[in-house]
Amino acid sequence: MSAPRIMVLGDSLASGMQDDYTWRWQLAQHFRHTGTAAEFVGPHTGTFSMYEDPVLLALVEGRPVPTGPATDNPMTGRYREGRFEGGHCARPGWTAHAAKSSVRRHVAAHRPDFLLIQLGFNDLATVGPPEQALRDLTAVVTEARSAAPDVAVLVATITGTTWGNDWFRKTVEDYNAELPATVAALSTDQSPVTLVNLHDGFDPDAHTYDGIHPNPAGESAMAAGFAHALRRFGVGHDRPRPSCSRLHELPLGKPTILAARIQDGTGVRFEWSRVRGAAGYRVALRDVTLGQPRQVGPIPVLGDHWLAQGLTAGHVYEFDVASARGERLGPRSAPVRVTVDH
């Protein structure tokens, strides 16, 4: 009997960022350690790399944002340990609304026996209410069955989150409450659909690094939820082993500013070394000429360089940068000073 083929269809919680373990990797490791044959399939092999993302590069460089296929991240980011043996079909920002137009093609190309769907958060945040998200989820399953009529589908609830306001978190609760009925209505003898409860027992304070994205403990919890659901289909025979003591967050190191040069008259482009485990960088500057205090930018820079624009000609500015992962910050770089041309 050949190993079951598993495709993960998801968003950033499934794709992970560069230097994440990811719950996919943890699930694959659980299967390997317990002698369970399984093959992970899909069009991507790596994690999301902010350093290679066309949209993020345009934003940090002050260029027009690309559109269409030119926006696709290559998904070549590395993992915390080793590599992920196989493929997946997950990318940050993905929604069921978007996935329904391409899932048939991916399923036809990679022929999964099991489709693990972890979507919904971005649908509620950017597309529409729970009712629309559930309609789009139904379309995803229907489209997948068009390519593989007997595929088994595992649909996850949305994990707990501290992100957003009370209204948004209520929409998450409403979606999770309505999801079981949708799953039950979709299930057939030929193509069973089952619920994976990732919400209960998931503590966003303990299991995420930013209120949304899982830390290693959260990844372990998500992997355990899917492993438990797959055991109902005869895939795997042992409960996932706790691995939180070995898998931990990386300490954030101090970046080094590598270059700082004038660009376009009153702009300064500066570049820094990459810090392993960083999900962004906090850039600070101060106008030395005016004696202003140090000011940290309001949002993280998702990349290893940044263009400061609209500076005053003739003034001296001081810059520094620190690695960040959620609210956690690493030590600041040594500052550099630049004089803007007259």
**Domains of the chain: which residue ranges?**
5-231, 257-339
The superfamily (CATH) of domain 257-339 is Immunoglobulins (2.60.40.10)
Query: What is the average per-residue pLDDT within 16-28?
Result: 96
Query: What is the average per-residue pLDDT within 260-264?
Result: 90
Give per-residue pLDDT as tens, 264-314.
Answer: 888 999 999 999 999 999 999 999 999 999 999 999 999 999 999 999 999
Share above pLDDT 70 across residues of the chain, in percent, rounded to a whole number:
97
- Reduced to 3 states (helix: H, G, I; strand: E, B; else coil), residue 185 is helix
Q: Mention every residue, 6+ apart, whose C-beta is less than 8 A from residue 42.
A: 7, 8, 9, 86, 87, 88, 89, 90, 106, 110
Longest dimension (CA), the chain: 74
Mean pLDDT of the chain: 95
Query: What is the average per-residue pLDDT within 7-22?
Result: 97
**What Cα–Cα distance (Å) separates residue 143 from each residue in 106, 128, 149, 323?**
10, 20, 10, 41
What confidence score (pLDDT) does residue 174 get? 98
Q: What are phi and psi of 282, to 5 degrees?
A: -105, 120
pLDDT score of 95 more than 60: yes
Give per-residue pLDDT as tens, 135-184.
Answer: 999 999 999 999 999 999 999 999 999 999 999 999 999 999 999 999 99
Query: What is the average per-residue pLDDT within 217-228?
Result: 95
Q: Residue written as tokens 């139904």? A: 138
The superfamily (CATH) of domain 5-231 is SGNH hydrolase (3.40.50.1110)
204 forms beta bridges with none
Same fold, 5-231 and 257-339: no
pLDDT score of 245 more than 80: no
Contact 42, 10 (CB under 8 A): no
Per-residue HEC secondary structure of 23-92 comes to: HHHHHHHHHHHCCCCCEECCCECCEECHHHCHHHHHHHHCCCCCCHHHHCCCCCECCCCCCCCECEEECC
What is the rounded CA–CA span in Å between residue 95 and residue 98?
5
What confidence score (pLDDT) does residue 342 get? 66
What confidence score (pLDDT) does residue 141 get? 98
Query: What is the average per-residue pLDDT within 98-119?
Result: 98
Q: What are phi and psi of 70, to 5 degrees?
A: -65, -10
